[in-house]
Amino acid sequence: MDNPDSLKGSNETYMECPSDHKRCRKITQEVEDDYRVIRQCALNGEVGCLQRTGTRKIKLEYCECVGDGCNSAIGLSAPSILLSVIAFFAILRSSVL
């Protein structure tokens, strides 16, 4: 079952996740000849994929990933925090003068 972690290069839309959801989940289901992909935001989970096969032509694959392109679960990075602190002090300084 072909199941890339990323939306990059596809025509699927990105979805914004709540800021506390740092991981993304992709569930691929194949039941007989019916194939679907479910994308979700996830609070936690181990990065990677897990495959399961059942009876009557049932295949499932669960993938957890981190970063842009798998559902846009974006967290704050050190540079953005630093810029926020610098901007805060610049505003504070200008209001004191």
Q: pLDDT tens digits for 51-83?
A: 988 877 889 988 888 876 664 334 444 555 556
How high is the pLDDT of residue 2? 41
Domain residue spans of the chain: 23-96
Query: Strands of 34-42's sheet, edge to edge?
Result: 34-42, 23-31, 58-65, 48-54
C-alpha closest to that of 43 among 27, 64, 61, 22:
22
